[in-house]
């Protein structure tokens, strides 16, 4: 990133004077637009620790009651029907639109938890990695940094029952899954890492988990859904004799390479165990609210020294600001107090939240996210929300002043991919997305 304008740059230790990234190339080869010569404020790009890209296309389409006891489990049936329509081409178009929206909102890295592997009925594509490749190419086209997490999905529950017909597109044997990982690792680059995702304890038998973990490179990142819903906690207790998080801590070498997605329902021992392990918990407040999952015990986890980050998960909302704001607001609703996520180092809830997501990003994603902030957001200093802003309140204003993304530019790996608040290829990406979604909906009708 080249520069020639004054900036105030946020670091976990505080604000510093620096230079604004403004004269380097945009991703489309054009020069970034003229910006004010007044001091601007720069913050780190946010890592999105959990995304299912295809679900962005069904945002808002599962909000009509289908059962008096609507829950995650009834929503899942709607999601399966929608997932069954995708091809590599439509997945690419939907993912590109999603990733452009992420960049505009302030995410500069995405961990894509990818389980939509095969064609309808579970028939492999001519190229078994076709769906994974569509995601990799979408991320490269849009310019977001990616950690692709191909998912191992084998059984329909803790009792080992077979996958349902609509789950067949997700399934792999251990051997086929390891071959997929080998194929994808050949694609790794500076902006792409390949990790491993175990869908959940209910979907991966113990023996399979051990075989996969033993085969992984030592530096592989490992993500897993865990303890999202009380019924899965109860089923794990019944059939494995332990709560899911406790079982995992007892049966795997959980450390900083691991990211536990949701971990919503923890008892005291599990909470302390996860914090001690060095693993990251990926909290997805908007999806956990949308699906009625429950609230993570944030204050207790912070007090235990636990590491955490946020994700957009089902992508019904695409905004790190909203995830962070509602992470804090959920705690306020439960405790009937304000400013819960603060630290001994700062009374600012916003800065404590920002430090949290920055601290976990490299370990969870596997990318060496440079502390010099090669991936940065230039906030929109001319927005009314920042009128009179100071070092002390800028981050709080960014997170707590509403729903408009206050990002003027997003830079990833030295390239300007968002300029003037819009992705540099937004119109063309949106056109392809509209065409793809029209085709997906036509298949349903």
Query: In the chain, pLDDT over 70 holds for what percent of residues?
Result: 94
Residues with catalytic annotation? 262, 313
Distance in angstroms (rounded) separating the CA atoms of residues 105 and 408: 10
pLDDT bucket at 35, cuts 50 / 70 / 90: low
Rounded to an integer, the average pLDDT of 354-363 is: 96
Residues 217-269 pLDDT 10s: 999 999 999 999 899 999 999 999 999 999 999 999 999 999 999 999 999 99
* 419 burial type by CB count under 10 A (0-12 exposed, 13-18 middle, 19+ buried): buried
Listed ranges 16-30, 67-81, 93-107; the one with the highest mean pLDDT: 93-107
Q: Which two tokens stand for residue 131?
A: 């769906």
Least confident residue range of 40-54, 63-77, 293-307, 399-413: 63-77
Q: Return the ∠ at Cα 429 (arms to 284 and 197), rounded to 5°.
A: 35
Q: Helix, strand, coil proportions of the chain in percent (round to 5)? A: 40, 20, 40
Are the C-beta atoms of residues 417 and 143 closer than 8 Å to each other? yes
Distance in angstroms (rounded) separating the CA atoms of residues 246 and 315: 29
Provide the residue ranges of all domains of the chain, joining segments of one domain with +: 49-367
pLDDT bucket at 28, cuts 50 / 70 / 90: confident
Rounded to an integer, the average pLDDT of 420-440 is: 96
Residues 312-322 pLDDT 10s: 999 999 999 99
The 10 Å Cβ neighbour count of residue 74 is 15
Residues 38-63 pLDDT 10s: 568 999 999 999 999 998 988 877 67
The 10 Å Cβ neighbour count of residue 338 is 11
CA-to-CA dists, residue 111 to 42, 107, 185, 255, 303, angstroms: 23, 11, 15, 18, 26
Residue 414 region, left (φ>0) first, then alpha (ψ -120 to 50), else beta?
Answer: left
Strand order across the beta sheet in which 40-44 lies: 14-21, 3-11, 40-44, 376-379, 407-412, 415-419, 422-423
First to last CA, the chain: 49
pLDDT of residue 82: 82
Rounded (10°) CA dihedral 212, 307, 372, 193: 20
Class of domain 49-367: alpha beta
* 80 burial type by CB count under 10 A (0-12 exposed, 13-18 middle, 19+ buried): middle
Model pTM score: 0.95
Alpha carbon of residue 63 to chain centroid: 22
Find the helix packing angle between 426-444 and 72-83, rounded to 10°: 100
Rounded to an integer, the average pLDDT of 160-189 is: 96
Rounded to an integer, the average pLDDT of 78-87 is: 86
Listed ranges 55-59, 321-325, 341-345; the one with the highest mean pLDDT: 321-325
């Amino acid at each position: 990133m080249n520069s020639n304008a004054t900036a105030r740059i946020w670091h976990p230790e505080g604000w510093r004077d620096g230079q604004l990234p403004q004269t380097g190339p945009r991703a489309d080869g054009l020069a970034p637009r003229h910006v004010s010569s007044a001091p601007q404020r720069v913050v780190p790009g946010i890592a999105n620790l959990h995304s299912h890209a295809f679900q962005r296309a069904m945002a808002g389409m599962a909000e009509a009651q289908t059962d008096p006891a609507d829950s995650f489990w009834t929503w899942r049936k709607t999601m399966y029907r929608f997932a069954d329509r995708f091809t590599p081409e439509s997945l690419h178009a939907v993912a590109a639109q999603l990733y452009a929206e992420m960049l505009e909102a302030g995410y500069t890295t995405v961990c894509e938890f990818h389980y939509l592997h095969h064609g309808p009925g579970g028939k492999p594509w001519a190229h078994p990695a076709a769906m994974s490749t569509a995601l990799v190419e979408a991320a490269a086209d849009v310019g977001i940094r990616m950690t692709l997490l191909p998912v191992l999905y084998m059984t329909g529950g803790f009792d080992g029952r077979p996958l349902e017909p609509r789950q067949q597109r997700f399934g792999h044997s251990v051997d086929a899954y390891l071959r997929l990982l080998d194929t994808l690792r050949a694609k790794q680059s500076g902006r792409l890492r390949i990790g491993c995702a175990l869908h959940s304890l209910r979907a991966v038998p113990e023996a399979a988990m051990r075989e996969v973990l033993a085969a992984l490179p030592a530096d592989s990142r490992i993500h897993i859904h865990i303890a999202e819903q009380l019924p899965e906690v109860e089923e794990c207790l019944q059939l494995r004799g332990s709560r899911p998080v406790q079982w995992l801590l007892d049966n795997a070498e959980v450390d900083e390479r691991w990211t536990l997605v949701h971990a919503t329902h923890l008892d005291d021992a599990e909470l302390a165990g996860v914090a001690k392990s060095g693993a990251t918990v990926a909290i997805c407040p908007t999806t956990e609210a949308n699906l009625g999952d429950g609230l993570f015990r944030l204050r207790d986890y912070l007090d235990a020294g636990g590491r955490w980050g946020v994700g957009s998960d089902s992508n019904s909302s695409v905004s790190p600001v909203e995830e962070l704001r509602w992470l804090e607001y959920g705690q306020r609703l439960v405790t009937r107090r304000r400013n819960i996520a603060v630290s001994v180092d700062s009374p600012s809830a916003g800065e404590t939240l920002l430090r949290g997501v920055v601290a976990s990003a490299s370990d969870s994603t596997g990318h060496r996210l440079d502390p010099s902030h090669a991936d940065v957001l230039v906030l929109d200093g001319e927005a009314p929300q920042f009128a009179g802003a100071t070092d002390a309140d800028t981050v709080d204003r960014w997170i707590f002043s509403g729903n408009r993304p206050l990002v003027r530019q997003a830079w990833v790996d030295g390239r300007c991919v968002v300029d003037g608040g819009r992705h540099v290829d937004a119109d063309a990406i949106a056109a392809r997305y509209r065409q793809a979604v029209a085709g997906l909906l036509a298949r349903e009708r």
